Amino acid sequence: MLNGKLAVITGGGTGIGLACAEKLSSMGARTILMGRNLQRLQDAALKIDGARAVQLDVTSDESVAAAFAEAAQDGPVDILVNNAGIAAATAFHKTSMEEWARIQAVNVEGLVRCSQAVLGDMKQATYARQINIASIAGLRGGAFIAPYVASKHAVVGLTKSLSLEYAHTGMTVNAVCPGYVKTAIVDNAIANIMEKTGRTEEQAVAELTKNNPQGRLIEVEEIAEVVGWLCSPLSGSVSGQSITVSGGAI
């Protein structure tokens, strides 16, 4: 279905990013995994037939330019999965501007850099896909995670704007908004809850999943399945959407 297409996945070494790379590869795409930890990317790439690892720091103009120039050696990028992101939890009145800026730099400005890096080719193509991994936090509020919520609201807004701006091209732009997923970020959140509240791991997981009607964490493969569909030719009329994968939370 995606035979010959070139897909770049940022934050591709673990979690959602790696699952997306595996899914797109299974659909026939050539995959390039990008992220800061080159060794981790290389180890992940060994699990995927034909995958390449390219080091990338989304907060650096120079790094983004170099990484996407290296990707372009394989041809124009047909699919971009903007998955790189960070999260942190603290009370808003204790949040420093440095911490605020750190989260926006990765989750918003990094996404902008990567999207702009491929737009030249994508807006000329008959087929192109941009998938932004946002969060259900991009559709509603959340206590103690204000910088993260703001960043993911920005991702959802950017998705809508880019979809409209480039609707006349062959490119679609969509966001996937997961609930809490079994990833390293959620592991850190669980550890943070345990440390600050004295709760057990089971109690911490229950706290994170209390707004999920199914009462569970989401699997990375579930996110990858939605990404795969959004990248398929059959989703060509779907653009500007924010699709939640959250156990029925609305």
- What length is written for the chain? 250
**Spatial CA neighbour of 83 closest among 23, 37, 149, 19:** 19
- 113 token code pair: 């850099």
Catalytic residue among 127, 148, 166, 180: 148
Separation CA 115–CA 103 (nearest Å): 18
Separation CA 9–CA 114 (nearest Å): 10
Separation CA 106–CA 86 (nearest Å): 7
- 12 token code pair: 């591709």
* Largest Cα span, the chain: 55
DSSP codes joined into one string, 73-111: GG----EEEE---------GGG--HHHHHHHHIIIIIHH
Q: Is 148 a catalytic residue?
A: yes
Residues designated catalytic: 148
